[in-house]
């Protein structure tokens, strides 16, 4: 090898290394995509996003949980859960009869009415006393109400006569067993019905205030109810890859359940090359489903929770 060859080899090697480094560094090549934050796993929650209850939930959860543990599902839970006798006390009326009650006939009617209202409308029962007695928002109320009620109820029952008490409890138990035995789904719908039925008279006085308390169970029940009402009207377009489409629509509802204005299409997710042509149809069908389902039958006392709905239309909804 001659000197010129050695020089040439040195220069060539150095130039290649330089070129390689230059191309590898970012100023020649297009800018890399740099993510400031690491990608995170996203879990998609259930379709309907109700108004967030996060701050208000904290006082509320304790009551529902004991109820749920035992079996009777829901919302009104605190009362029916423990011993069905308690809710009766809630309405203040029973105590007054208690003191008077030496006469038997008086006693008997007292327990009787009590069990009935309990299972029937646990929900309204709570709000009702609220404005009356403490005049405070209902959240706080259940606890004192229960304890208060417990105290008077027991003395009343024990002295008066074991018979009435036992009959009452037996009846209550039957009720309780029934409600607890039933499936969650039935329960929710039951509650939905009762709630919507009962609220019409009850909620009117306390319209605004009552909506506040919406536990997770209520939320899911409400969610399920909305889905149930939408489902028969939702017809997804057919075609390749259409299953992956998810159209998100924002809706504003009036108090009577009708749609205010036009549903607003937020976005359609899951668009691929093969289903791109179906996106418009998917969105139109979603809006159509809302319009057809229009007067939604939802509990009025939770109006603030379903006033603004974000609905997701996808394959799951039609199943």
Partner 1 sequence: MTVPIVDLSANAAATLSPYTLFMQADIVVKVVMAGLLLASIWTWAIIIGFGFSLSGIRRKCLKFEQEFWRTDDIDRFFENRGKENLPSARVLQAGITEWRRSTKQKVVDREGARDRISTALSSAVGGEVDLLSDRLNILATVGAVAPFVGLFGTVWGIMRSFTAIAAQQNSSLAVVAPGIAEALFATAIGLFAAIPAVIAYNRFSHAINKVESGLNRFADTFYATLSRELEHS
Query: What is the binding site for partner 1 (CB under 8 A)?
Result: 2, 4-9, 11-13, 15-16, 20, 23-24, 26, 29-35, 38-44
CB of 7 to partner 1, least distance (A): 6
Nearest approach, Cβ of residue 41 and partner 1 (Å): 5
Listing from the earlier edge strand, what are the strands of the sheet with 259-269?
259-269, 246-253, 308-313
Token pair, residue 31, equals 């800018």
The packing angle between helices 216-230 and 184-202, to 10°, is 90
The minimum distance between CB 262 and partner 1, in angstroms, equals 29
Q: Please report where in the chains the tokens 């109320």 appear, as a residue.
A: 141
∠ Cα 222 224 225 (to 5°) = 65
Q: Decide if 248 contacts 266 (C-beta within 8 A).
A: yes
Measured from the CB atom, is 20 or 174 closer to partner 1?
20
Give the span between the Cα atoms of 270 and 261, in whole angstroms.
27
Closest contact distance (angstroms) between CB of 18 and partner 1 is 12
| Alpha-carbon gap, residue 307 to 252, rounded angstroms | 6
User: Residue 71 or 270: which CB sits closer to partner 1?
Assistant: 270
Determine contact, residues 110/98, Cβ cutoff 8 Å. yes
Q: Quick check: 239 and 311 in contact, CB under 8 A?
A: no
User: For residues 141 and 246, which CB has a smaller minimum distance to partner 1 in the complex?
Assistant: 246
Report the first-to-last Cα separation within the chain, whole angstroms: 80
Query: In terms of Cα–Cα distance, which of 262, 255, 261, 313 is closest to 289?
Result: 313
153, 172 Cβ separation under 8 angstroms: no
Q: Which is nearer to partner 1, 22 or 177 (CB)?
A: 22
Shortest reach from residue 230's CB to partner 1, in Å: 20
Q: How far is the CB of 274 from partner 1 (least distance, A)?
A: 11
Residue 220, token pair as written in the block: 């899911």
Contact yes or no for 250/310 (Cβ under 8 A): yes
Q: Which is nearer to partner 1, 35 or 135 (CB)?
A: 35
Smallest gap, in angstroms, from Cβ of residue 48 to partner 1? 15
Q: Which residue lies nearer to partner 1 by CB, 44 or 135?
A: 44
Q: Which is nearer to partner 1, 44 or 54 (CB)?
A: 44
E strand or H helix that includes residue 308? strand 308-313
Q: Which is nearer to partner 1, 33 or 135 (CB)?
A: 33
Determine which helix (DSSP H) or strand (DSSP E) holds 115, and give its type and residue range.
none
Q: State which residue, 1 or 135, has the beta carbon closest to partner 1.
A: 1
Per the CB < 8 A criterion, the answer to whether 143 and 132 are in contact is: no
Q: State both tokens at 158.
A: 């024990």
Closest distance between partner 1 and the C-beta of residue 224, in Å? 17
Minimum distance, C-beta of residue 241 to partner 1, in the bound complex (Å):
12
How many C-beta neighbours within 10 Å does residue 38 have?
A: 5
């Amino acid at each position: 090898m001659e000197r010129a060859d050695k020089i040439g080899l040195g220069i060539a090697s150095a130039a290649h290394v330089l070129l390689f480094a230059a191309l590898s560094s970012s100023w020649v090549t297009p800018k890399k995509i740099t993510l400031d934050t690491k990608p995170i796993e996203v879990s998609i929650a259930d379709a309907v996003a109700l108004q967030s209850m996060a701050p208000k939930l904290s006082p509320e959860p304790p009551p529902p949980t004991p109820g749920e543990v035992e079996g009777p599902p829901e919302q009104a839970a605190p009362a029916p859960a423990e011993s069905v006798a308690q809710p009766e006390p809630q309405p203040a009326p029973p105590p007054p009869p208690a003191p008077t009650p030496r006469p038997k006939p008086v006693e008997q009617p007292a327990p009787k009415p009590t069990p009935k209202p309990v299972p029937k409308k646990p929900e309204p029962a709570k709000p009702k006393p609220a404005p009356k007695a403490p005049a405070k928002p209902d959240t706080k109320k259940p606890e004192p109400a229960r304890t208060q009620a417990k105290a008077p109820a027991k003395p009343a029952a024990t002295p008066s006569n074991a018979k009435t008490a036992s009959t009452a409890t037996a009846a209550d138990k039957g009720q309780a067993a029934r409600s607890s035995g039933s499936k969650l789904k039935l329960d929710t719908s039951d509650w939905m019905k009762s709630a919507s039925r009962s609220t019409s008279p009850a909620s009117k006085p306390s319209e605004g205030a009552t909506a506040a308390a919406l536990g997770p169970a209520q939320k899911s029940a409400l969610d399920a109810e909305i889905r149930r009402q939408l489902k028969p009207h939702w017809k997804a377009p057919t075609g390749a890859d259409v299953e992956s489409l998810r159209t998100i629509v924002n809706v504003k509802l009036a108090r009577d359940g009708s749609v205010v204005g036009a549903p607003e299409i937020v976005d359609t997710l899951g668009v691929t090359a093969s289903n791109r042509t179906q996106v418009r149809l998917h969105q139109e069908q979603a809006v159509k489903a809302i319009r057809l389902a229009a007067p939604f039958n939802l509990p009025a006392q939770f109006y603030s929770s379903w006033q603004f709905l974000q609905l997701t239309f996808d394959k799951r909804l039609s199943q």
